[in-house]
Structure 1
């Protein structure tokens, strides 16, 4: 069975059990917005949590941490997003649901257990009360969610009494208006004043179509060459045995992009981009971090046998390619991976 959990979009079946010989490991940590949340975060909800600063991508754990240290480090990393009076519970994905890991009596989730129990899965953190204003369902939750924001709300002119839960939407509207419009109104006006120098603003108003590419993002059709340019190739040191095998696979990768464009056009290239980054189009400001191509060698990490399928980690925009010796096999396995991976979740 193929599967994808957390940030790993696709990982083929393999009999791996060899522990990593490192004292640390990386894992996504997702802070849930309220205590009633019980499903795996996907797509739009995950994007919303990311925008609110509720996701730590590739957070570094130490295997030597005890349970208390794990809690403290996660609290410190999320900072003001977790008030001091909020207690936390660790959850893990089981299918599409979130469950509490079943441990032996007396055991606590320390660094070593998190590494063994969660494997490639993200660690979910459930708060004891609602943290986001927009997620509040009772007046009490709304007041508690608003409390850490009082200084911000006062400066934004959004401080209003909450008499019922219906006031939540009004408060959210006020915050959005301030953040999107009023907050940038002054700088925007100064920008316009600057454009008046030498009559630039007047020219823009007379010829908006000519200036539009300078100020507005216009998505362009994906091509094989453009997708190739998006990815940086991370090769082993020159002269090594690994480098020779990797350079052969780089040619397979570029041939595969060309074949994808010829066979299905931009639609297949979008699938390849989404496989590696989670996005089927290039964002207006580009990707961060820069997408990269890495390679899977036998013996790397958990792989005791020769890997057959590509892997991807969308949190760091990285695709890892297996080292096949023929293009036909490379193409066959990549096509199979694309056809049996449907975003986050199980395939």
Structure 2
């Protein structure tokens, strides 16, 4: 890091601003500190409770419920504190968790910088000048700043495609005014590009991006602002990178995973001409037919922890329970109540599954 800075490198630009000021011996205002910076939900809730304390009764309750915890954080005067002491106590708590708790790591970092020309001592004496090198000082992007990040790959001037592309870019700039974002702390390695594609009736392709090539692909000829907004938000919200955890915990996704693995297994079996050797039945380990309730219990047992298992484990658990017998015998046509992809999965999920 020190060599990078000394040779006109970009710096790290990722240290929290308040933490950097404390590292430099300053005393920042922590009343506006964003508690979302803490990954521990329990910690953020406890600190928020200190912030919300506004009456003597609430202070007494705070001492009773969190007094020992606050004392363990290096603030022993909590039990004799008054309302006027709460801002100082809150400052000490936040400082404890962002600085003192990781002081040994910070000391290694600053010692490393000092090993290269006593750089950290220079930073201490000129901390304001080094703020842009160690912290992310970028604000929210404006429409013009976003537009300047991109080179637009236009079609030939005067062509019909160029007219359609200009309509799309106009709506894209309108959409930019309704959102807020920021550039990554280290920026981009190259300028981003906007390219276009044609919609093919009767399908409707949503916008997409290449994160490797830093290219955004937009549809030509979208003439209505609401249609463009719908496409953009559908593309963002439908991406596997957004809301993936919630999807993983849905029963619909669990069923789709198992059904997709079953279909893949059948394809391989068919290729190897071994279909007739597969014996699937609905008999229990005691060779007794499963009742309907027992059948659904098997399904629930298989899908209960599917998000924590490897896909192959999920599939073979299903086979061990023999819960797909009817679907195999009838070409997956007559037993779709629990694995009906068309009724329970959206088109975008089908597309994502086909892609995988």
Please tell me the TM-score bracket, short chain as reference: 0.3 to 0.5
Per residue, is there more helix in 1 or in 2? 2
**Higher relative CO (CA 8 A, sep ≥ 6), structure 1 or 2?**
1
Per residue, is there more strand in 1 or in 2? 1
Scaled by the length of structure 2, the TM-score of the pair is: 0.32
Which one has a bigger Cα radius of gyration? 2
Scaled by the length of structure 1, the TM-score of the pair is: 0.33
